[in-house]
Structure 1
Amino acid sequence: MKEIEKCRELTEEEDKSFIWKETRRYLGLGAKAGDSMTEELISQCLKDLESTAAPKWAVKEFPLKIQGDRIYTEGFSTESKSLLKNLAGCEKVIIFAATLGTGVDHLIRRYEKIQMSRAVVLQAAAAAWIEEFCNRKNRMLKEAYEKEGWFLRPRFSPGYGDFPLECQQSILTVLEAGKRIGLTLTDSMLMAPSKSVSAVIGVGRQPVNCRLEGCESCDKSDCQFRRSKE
C-alpha cells in the first residue's frame, strides 16, 4: 500500500461536480438543479464544510477464509449471503473506515437550532462529501493493488443487505479507529462522528467489470436516494 498516495486524484473541478450532484440527490432533487435559492444555499454549505471538515481514513488488509456461509477474517467473522456474493473469488479483504470529523457534526447541530433549512442542506452536502472522500481513496487503493495484479470489489458496508450492523464494532476495533481517526460507535451502533463510513473491500486475482462505489452493490433498487447508473 506504499504507492497509494502517488495515485491519481480527481481534479478539483471533478470533485466539486460529484459533490454538487450527490448533494442534490440527497435533497431529493435527482439530477436536476434546484431553484436559485437552493443552489445558493448548497454553495454556502459547501463552503462551510470546506473550512470545517477534517477528513481522515484508516485501512488494513487481512486474509479471507470462507467456510460454507461463514466469512472469516482477522478483523471480523459473520454470516451474510449478500457479502458472500460480493466477496466471491476473493482471497483477502481490505477493511476501511473514514470520517469527516467532529467539526461537521457541531456545525450541523448549530444550524439545527438557528436555521433548519441550512442544517438540512448541510446534512446532504456532508453525506455527499464523505462519499466523495471514500470514492477517492477507493480509487487510490484500486490503482495501487492493480499494479500488483490484484483487483478490488465494490466497498460493502455493515447494514447493506444482510451484513450485520454489529460488525462495525469489530471493524473499528481492528482498525484502532478511535485512536487513529477519532471514529467510535455509540451504544446503538451509530458512528460518531456521524458523517463516517466503515466498509469491507474484497481483493481477488480476477478482474471484475464493476465500479467501486458502495451504492451499486446495495440490493435496495427502489431506494429514492439510489445513484443513477448513468
Structure 2
Amino acid sequence: MMVPDPVVRKYSFSDLPVKVEWLEKLLGYPEGETPEAIRDVISEIIEKAPDYADIQGGYVIPEDFEVLDNNNFRVNGLDFNSGKIITGSLRKSERLAFFLMTAGNGIENWSRELMSGGDPLGGYIVDLLGSEIVEAGMDHMQDELEREMEGQAMRISNRYSPGHCGWLVDEQQKLFSFFPDNFCGVSLMDSSLMLPIKSVSGIIGIGKDIKKKAYSCQVCDVEDCLYRDRKTVV
C-alpha cells in the first residue's frame, strides 16, 4: 500500500515557547533560586540560539491502521509491538500519524564546541536547550495537527515515542520506513540512534472518539525521565 507524502514543517526559534524557567529546573534549581550569574548564562545562550537552531520536522498519515491485540498494532501491513500502555491509548484510533522533529546539527555542534573550549556549563546548558527545542517544536507541530484534524471532525491522542512506555527503541527502524531517506536531515543508525541527536520520532493516534490527556506522564512508566511533568512548567 502506498504511503502519502509527508507534511513538512519548519519553525524559527522565535516560534517556540522556550522557557528560561524550564532550563533552570533541569539544572536543579528550585523556582526563584537560580543564581543571577546562571540566569545570565541561560539568557545569553537563548539569545544566540536562533543562529544555531535548524528546527524542522513533519508527519505522515497512512490510510491503513488497526489494533491487533493488547500489545500490537499494524500500519500498511507492518506490525508494531508498542506494549500495553501505548497500544491501549491507541485503541480508539482510526488512523495514525508518524512524526519526526529535529533541532538540527547546529545546536549539538555548538554544545561540543563550548565543552571542548573550556566552558562545560555553557555546553551543558546548550545541550539541555537542544532537547527543549525538539520538544517545543513537537508541541507546536502537534497543535497544528490537532487543528487540522478538528477540521475533519477528528481528535488526536498524546504522542508516543519508541524507547518509552515499554515500546522498544529498535522499532524506530519500522517507523522510519514511512519517511523518505534523510527526511528533514534526520538519519537512523543501525543502533536506532537518530542523527542529529536532538531529534524525536513517534506516533499520534487520530479518531473521532480518541482522547488526549492533559499530559502523557501519567501513563508513562519511566520514573527518571528528564521531561517528566514538563507540562507543569512550560
Query: TM-score normalised by the shorter chain: which range applies?
Result: 0.7 to 0.9
When the two structures are aligned, how many residues end up with a matched partner?
Answer: 219
In the alignment, residue 198 of structure 2 is paired with which amino acid? K
Contact 2:102 2:134 in 1 (8 A): yes
Separation (CA, whole Å) in 2 of partners of 1:109 and 1:78: 35
Q: Runs (4+) of structure 1 moved beyond 4 Å?
A: 30-33, 213-217, 221-225
1:162 paired residue among 162, 166, 172: 166
CA RMSD of aligned residues (A): 2.6
* Residues 29 and 86 (structure 1), Cα distance of their counterparts in 2 relative to 1, 3 Å cut: farther
Q: Which residue of 2 aligns with 1:182?
A: 185
Any unmatched runs of 5+ in structure 1? none
Contact 1:75 1:95 in 2 (8 A): no
Give the secondary-structure state (helix, strand or coil) at the position aligned to 1:159. Answer: coil
1:194 paired residue among 197, 206, 230: 197
Deviations 1:124-167 (A, max 9, x none): 11111111111011001001101111100000000111111011
Q: Which residue of 2 aligns with 1:153?
A: 157
Separation (CA, whole Å) in 2 of partners of 1:56 and 1:121: 21
Q: Which residue of 1 aligns with 2:221?
A: 219
CA offset at residue 112 of structure 1?
1.5
Give the secondary-structure state (helix, strand or coil) at the position aligned to 2:59. Answer: strand
Contact 1:184 1:193 in 2 (8 A): yes
Contact 2:189 2:195 in 1 (8 A): yes
Q: Which moved more, 1:92-101 or 1:213-222?
A: 213-222
TM-score by length of 1: 0.84
Give the secondary-structure state (helix, strand or coil) at the position aligned to 2:190. Answer: coil
* Residues 147 and 33 (structure 1), Cα distance of their counterparts in 2 relative to 1, 3 Å cut: farther
In the alignment, residue 66 of structure 1 is paired with which amino acid? V
Deviations 1:168-227 (A, max 9, x none): 12222311251x30101223221110110101000111152523x654542234646412
1:1-230 to 2 correspondences below 5 Å? 15-16=16-17, 18-29=18-29, 31-32=31-32, 34-62=34-62, 63-68=64-69, 69-74=71-76, 76-79=78-81, 80-114=83-117, 115-176=119-180, 178=182, 180-208=183-211, 210-211=213-214, 215-221=217-223, 223=225, 225-227=227-229, 230=232
Contact 1:75 1:171 in 2 (8 A): no
TM-score by length of 2: 0.83
Separation (CA, whole Å) in 1 of partners of 2:216 and 2:99: 12
Structure with higher RCO (Cα < 8 A, 6+ apart): 1
* Residues 102 and 214 (structure 1), Cα distance of their counterparts in 2 relative to 1, 3 Å cut: farther
